[in-house]
């Protein structure tokens, strides 16, 4: 029995020969060790019945383990040899790999998400509201004077029952202030409608992201700081911002924010019309009349609001010349912005 065990151990030594064996030597080794008739290990296994039951178990276990190890080693070497032989019979590694269908999110969805993510870092949550709105939420509560030219730039699609398709997501400001008490820090993404025919820079439907902050002691400095921080996150850490007076009925003071051109970094290029600056968003301190409309005391609370158009921002940042491309659903266009590179 000791002989058999020694023989098993001795055979194990020979495992080391297998990884170097060529095809022929591998066949020889296989016959020599596992051969059906004269294989060394086959013989050992064949001799097992002659042993005492206790010995049979210990030698048998060792022999069976060794048999498995040999089989695995032979198989591994055979695979290696096979692979090597394939590679050498003229496979061309420059042939294309096997692709699978890819998909991706619309660029505007990505930009909206990016904007909301940056504002999430700045403590904002998302709030949404209906696209078919009442005139009160879309205009009245936002301090738009009735029958005033300020409404002209927001030419609306009207529905029955005094409803219209919202011309901005600002109604969500009002709905949020009615439902929650300050402090309020929200951004509201969503689809808006204006009665502008399609042309390269206008679409009757477009995405907007609006924001609203209301709390005690919120100031114009907070507005500038928050929006500048956003711009640096979105356009890069060296982005400069500048604010200039503007007009929105629901904010006072109102401000447009421009950022240094992300294409030319201020040197002047077609994207920024040679000015070095790009207009990105409108903003302002919430008008006291709007706060009052939402039963928030403007002597006690103040706030700021802002709004931007992801379509426009995407056009500027990605050099897209025509807004209509966003609506055509052309797979070649969509794939360009899948983040995987063009197929």
Q: Determine, following the binding rule CB under 5 A, whether residue 240 of this chain makes contact with Zn ion.
A: no
Q: Determine, following the binding rule CB under 8 A, whether residue 295 of this chain makes contact with other proteins.
A: no
Q: Determine, following the binding rule CB under 8 A, whether residue 342 of this chain makes contact with other proteins.
A: no
Nearer to other proteins, 173 or 262 (CB): 173
Distance of CA 297 to the CA centre of its chain: 40
- The minimum distance between CB 29 and other proteins, in angstroms, equals 32
**Cα dihedral 115/116/122/127 (nearest 10):** 140
Q: Determine, following the binding rule CB under 8 A, whether residue 217 of this chain makes contact with other proteins.
A: yes
**Helix (H/G/I), strand (E/B), else coil: 134:** strand
Q: Determine, following the binding rule CB under 8 A, whether residue 209 of this chain makes contact with other proteins.
A: no
The secondary structure of residue 46, as a DSSP letter, is H
Q: Look at residue 263 and give the partner it binds from other proteins, Zn ion, none, a contact being a CB closer than 5 to 8 Å depending on partner kind.
A: Zn ion
Interatomic CA distance for residues 236 and 2, integer angstroms: 77
Q: Determine, following the binding rule CB under 5 A, whether residue 272 of this chain makes contact with Zn ion.
A: yes
Task: Work out which of 222, 268, 271, 276 binds other proteins, going by CB under 8 A.
Answer: 222
Contact region with other proteins (CB under 8 A), list: 23-31, 56-64, 96-104, 313-321: 96-104
Q: Determine, following the binding rule CB under 8 A, whether residue 78 of this chain makes contact with other proteins.
A: no
Contact region with other proteins (CB under 8 A), list: 24-32, 52-60, 62-70, 121-129: 121-129
Q: Is 340 exposed, middle or buried (0-12, 13-18, 19+ CB in 10 A)?
A: exposed
- The minimum distance between CB 323 and Zn ion, in angstroms, equals 19
For residue 296, which of 219, 215, 220 has the smallest C-alpha distance?
215
Within 260-289, which residues bind other proteins (CB under 8 A)? 285, 287-289
Tokens of 75: 């198989």
Name the helix (H) or strand (E) containing 3. helix 2-13
Residue tagged 């949404």 (tokens): 128
């Amino acid at each position: 029995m000791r002989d058999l065990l020694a023989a098993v151990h001795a055979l194990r030594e020979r495992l080391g020969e297998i990884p170097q064996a060529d095809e022929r030597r591998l066949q020889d080794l296989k016959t020599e060790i596992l051969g059906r008739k004269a294989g060394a290990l086959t013989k050992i296994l064949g001799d097992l019945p002659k042993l005492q039951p206790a010995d049979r178990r210990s030698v048998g276990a060792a022999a069976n383990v060794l048999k498995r190890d040999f089989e695995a080693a032979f198989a591994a070497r055979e695979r290696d040899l096979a692979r090597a032989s394939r590679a050498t019979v003229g496979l061309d590694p420059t042939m294309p790999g096997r692709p699978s269908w890819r998909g991706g999110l619309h660029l505007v969805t990505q930009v909206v998400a990016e904007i909301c993510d940056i504002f999430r870092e700045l403590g904002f949550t998302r709030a949404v509201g209906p696209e078919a709105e009442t005139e009160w939420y879309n205009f009245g509560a936002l301090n738009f004077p009735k029958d005033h030219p300020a409404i002209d730039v927001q030419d609306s699609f009207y529905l029955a029952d005094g409803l219209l398709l919202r011309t901005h997501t600002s109604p969500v400001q009002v709905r949020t202030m009615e439902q929650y008490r300050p402090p309020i820090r929200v951004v509201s993404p969503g689809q808006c409608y204006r009665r502008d025919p399609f042309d390269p820079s206008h679409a009757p439907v477009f995405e907007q992201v609006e924001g609203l902050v209301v709390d005690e002691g919120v100031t114009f400095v907070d507005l500038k700081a928050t929006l500048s921080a956003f711009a640096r996150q979105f356009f890069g850490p060296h982005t400069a911002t500048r604010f200039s007076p503007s007009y929105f009925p629901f904010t006072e003071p109102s401000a447009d924010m421009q950022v240094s051109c992300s294409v030319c970094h201020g040197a002047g290029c077609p994207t920024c019309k040679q000015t070095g600056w790009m207009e990105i968003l409108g903003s302002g301190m919430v008008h006291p009349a709007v706060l009052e409309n939402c039963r928030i005391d403007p002597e006690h609370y103040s706030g700021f609001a802002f709004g931007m158009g992801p379509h426009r921002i995407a056009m500027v940042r990605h050099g897209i010349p025509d807004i209509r491309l966003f609506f055509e659903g052309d797979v070649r266009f969509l794939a360009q912005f899948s983040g995987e590179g063009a197929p």
